[in-house]
Amino acid sequence: MFRSLLIAVLAAIAPAAALAAPRQEIQEDAFLDLVDGAGNALVQGRGVDAVNAKARSQGLQLPALGYWSPEGHCFEKPAPGDCNGVFREP
């Protein structure tokens, strides 16, 4: 019984945890849908750390809703190019 309860709790929490702290880039079309969303703001920087720092300085809500770059290198360190992130406006 405890095992079933644990599995149910983890299954309920896992999707929320994945959305709360994205660790990989999302597909371009899904990212563009976020960019077009009401109350969302696009931030660009050199890698995910720079994007997050800019968003924080602009008073946007972290964590990001999603990240994307044409080359797929937002999470490389050091980032070889620009990365895009979408954040909720306060």
In the chain, where are the structural domains located?
22-88
pLDDT in tens, the chain (90 residues): 555 544 544 444 444 444 445 789 999 999 999 999 999 999 999 999 999 999 999 999 999 999 999 999 999 999 999 999 999 998
Task: Residue 6: count other Cβ atoms within 10 Å of its Cβ.
Answer: 10
Confidence (pLDDT) at 3: 57
- 15-37 b/e (C-beta count within 10 Å ≥ 16 → b): eeeeeeebeebbeeeebeebeee
Q: Tokens in use for 47?
A: 């890698």
Confidence (pLDDT) at 23: 83
* HSE-CB of 19 using CA atoms within 13 angstroms: 8
